[in-house]
Copies of this chain bind each other. A is one copy, B any other.
């Protein structure tokens, strides 16, 4: 006689538990009027450099801190700390993403009443970070031109969960077969409300447009 098999979806349970914790975290952020931005991308797309460019523009207007996630190094946190901005390093020890519990440990190391904006530099990975709500107010991602215009086809969830996309290393465009229009069409099909900025942390192109958008989002959040 065949026994009936009981099927338990472990992943759905884990994601549901994480979502509950992320919602609690957002309530805490709202209480302290601290905006949390979750920045995601592939390794090498330019997260740290974009964060440094963002700090350079916003540090005199806003009180900032950065939570860095790294599997096993502190180099990114050291670059942030060298600017005089507070950095918390989460060493994930092999984990490929951050979840709300890990982010809440990072936030607990900061004085939220003294901060307007905390930027999370998530683990460099286009898959798992898209699945785990970190408790952030907005999700941002970087796609760099050298990665190719097909990434929205390969990693649709990441493009779907983000509020804003920075197309970075835009200075490479003339030397590349990256089709900006085709990429945008693919992204808007997945996520019609996403905001797209073409930027280059190297030349500074687009950085003000991006930081102006971010300031407006923070203003709306703090006023709400």
Interface residues of A (CB under 8 A from B): 1-14, 69, 74, 77-78, 80-95, 98, 101-102, 105-106, 109, 128
Bound Cα distance A109, B91 (Å)? 35
Bound Cα distance A88, B8 (Å)? 7
Bound Cα distance A113, B93 (Å)? 39
**Other-chain contact of A9, B2, B7, B93 (Cβ < 8 Å):** B93
| Interfacial chain B residues near A83, Cβ < 8 Å | 3
Asked, given contacts A12-B93, A93-B12, whether A81 binds B7 with beta carbons under 8 Å apart, the answer is no
Smallest CB-CB A-B distances: 9 pairs: A11-B93, A3-B81, A6-B109, A5-B77, A6-B88, A7-B89, A10-B102, A10-B90, A5-B81
Bound Cα distance A77, B98 (Å)? 31
Contact B84 A11 (CB under 8 A): no
Minimal Cβ-Cβ distance residue in B for A83: B3
Minimal Cβ-Cβ distance residue in B for A15: B93
| Residue of A4, A10, A89 with most chain B CB atoms under a 10 A cut-off | A10
Binding site secondary structure of chain A: mixed
Bound Cα distance A174, B89 (Å)? 52
| Residue of A6, A81, A109 with most chain B CB atoms under a 10 A cut-off | A6
Bound Cα distance A91, B12 (Å)? 9
Minimal Cβ-Cβ distance residue in B for A91: B9
Instruction: For the complex formed, measure the closest distance between the CB of A104 and the CB atoms of chain B, giving whole angstroms.
Output: 11
Contact B8 A91 (CB under 8 A): yes
Instruction: For the complex formed, measure the closest distance between the CB of A126 and the CB atoms of chain B, giving whole angstroms.
Output: 14
Q: Please, could you name 25 A-B residue pairs with CB atoms under 8 Å apart, sorted by A?
A: A2-B84, A3-B80, A3-B84, A3-B87, A5-B77, A5-B81, A5-B87, A5-B88, A6-B87, A6-B109, A7-B77, A8-B88, A8-B91, A8-B106, A9-B93, A10-B69, A10-B90, A10-B91, A10-B93, A10-B102, A11-B91, A11-B93, A14-B95, A14-B101, A94-B128
